[in-house]
Amino acid sequence: MWLKIKPEEPLIIGEVRAGSQFLTSLPFIPGRLLRGSWVERLLIQGETEILPKVQSIRIGNFFPTTEWRSMGYALPLPLTALTCKREGGFHSETYPQRRGHGIVDTLLPHLAYVLLQERGALFAAPFGITCLTCGSRMEPVSSFYTVYQNGGRSHYVRTRLQYHAQTKVSLSRHRRASTEGMLYTASALSPRSSSPDGSANEAPLVFLGRVYGDEKAVNDLCRAVNGAAIGALHTRGYGRIRVEEAEVRLPSLRERVKAFNETLKRLWADLRTLSVNDGDLPSEPEGLYFSVDLLSPAILRDPVGVPTLVLSLSLNGQALTPIWYQARPDFAGGWAETWGLPKSTNLAVRMGSVYVFRWNGGLEELIAALDSMETQGIGERCDESFGECLICHPFHQEIQER
């Protein structure tokens, strides 16, 4: 089930760093914050069977977007996304002054090139991508984006957040009064954002995310956290939210897997004609291919228990290793509100990392296994919203600048 979070007050979502006078916020809402707020409400109500109820669902991350027109979905861009170094940004933005030369995904072109080389293809030039408009270099882009339907067309729009900064006086825990010479600045996410069409009217900021599991428990979660506060500075006018069910038009898993393989076959055929020995190469790649895209940091370990950045899968008895991947390191930590102590810190794989696998079985068998993996997550501490993944991210289909 997809849910929508509407902040009614500025949000500070993040970790306090020792020795820093600035309280900054994450640009998204980790699902574990909702889980913690839900558990806190259950404790206040005197609930005794908390653990079974909380374990019946898994809460994913919630990604920012602007509530404007008809929204399709909001997701983070994968690490394989590139944009023009000179004029970056989507050229399908609704506001002309925000349009760039486009953002393109390089996963499928790169994958087709690598697979052809494995089959002995010889190319006259190495793999490289330049801006289609001006010929400039491309650079990685990290952002959240939303697909809107406006005027019968699909518009890709980058999420632009506004921040609410306020300087406050630090309080002494011993005297319970202000501390001389101690100030800090709280930089919070504003509940309003600039309109995608560039108009003077601001639009509400919302967060879209998925909750997996029992529908009754999801409804209990919504009722419990409605009107509750998440993040920092609850007693100072920050963190109040509303939660409701959202209508999201994300392509189904079957559609994404089919489109992924069809686009790969088309790129294979195009690149095959550029090789100097195209007559010696097969007409299409063997097997079925799918990508695992991380929507949250994932804590992975190799078979002997050592932390790793390489994802290995076991689907229906088949041990799969990635034939291509792009990953970056990150750290997974947290704060245990119940104990008042920090949680253990683990090496993790960054949100947006991509892994590609080859499957030698049938499509129906693969779809069932992938659906279970999306629901359960990958790696460790999945109940804390780590390891959330999306199979065949829809942006991988954008092999031309959007």
Instruction: Give tens-digit pLDDT for 193-202.
Output: 888 887 878 8
Non-local (6+) Cβ contacts of 112 within 8 A are 264, 267, 268, 270, 271, 285
The pLDDT tens digits for 116-137 are 999 888 888 888 888 888 888 9
Compute the mean pLDDT over every residue in the chain, rounded to the nearest whole number. Answer: 89
Could you report the per-residue pLDDT of 18-28, keeping only the tens digit for each?
A: 556 778 889 99
What's 35's DSSP letter? H
The fold adopted by the segment(s) 106-135+252-397 is Immunoglobulin-like (2.60.40)
Kindly report the backbone phi and psi dihedral angles of residue 370, in degrees, each rounded to the nearest multiple of 5, phi listed first. -70, -35
Spell out the alpha helix ranges (H) of 226-318: 253-272
Averaged over 290-305, what is the pLDDT?
Answer: 94
Distance CA 388, CA 381 (A): 10
Reported confidence tier of residue 289, pLDDT bands at 50, 70, 90? very high
pLDDT of 337 higher than 80 = no
| Interval 139-144 mean pLDDT | 94
Q: How many CB atoms lie within 10 A of CB 278?
A: 15
- Asked if 292 and 311 count as a contact pair (C-beta separation under 8 A), the reply is yes
Q: Are strands 153-158 and 144-150 parallel, antiparallel or unpaired?
A: antiparallel
DSSP single-letter state for residue 99: -
Rounded alpha-carbon distances, angstroms, from residue 81 to 22, 103, 213, 326, 393: 31, 7, 31, 11, 11
Closest to 14 measured CA to CA, from 289, 334, 306: 334
What angle do the packed helices 253-272 and 107-118 form, to 10 degrees?
A: 60
So where are the chain's domains? 2-77+145-245, 106-135+252-397
Is the full-model pTM beyond 0.85? yes
List, for residues 55-102, the tens digit of each pLDDT value.
889 999 999 999 988 889 999 999 999 999 999 999 888 888 888 999
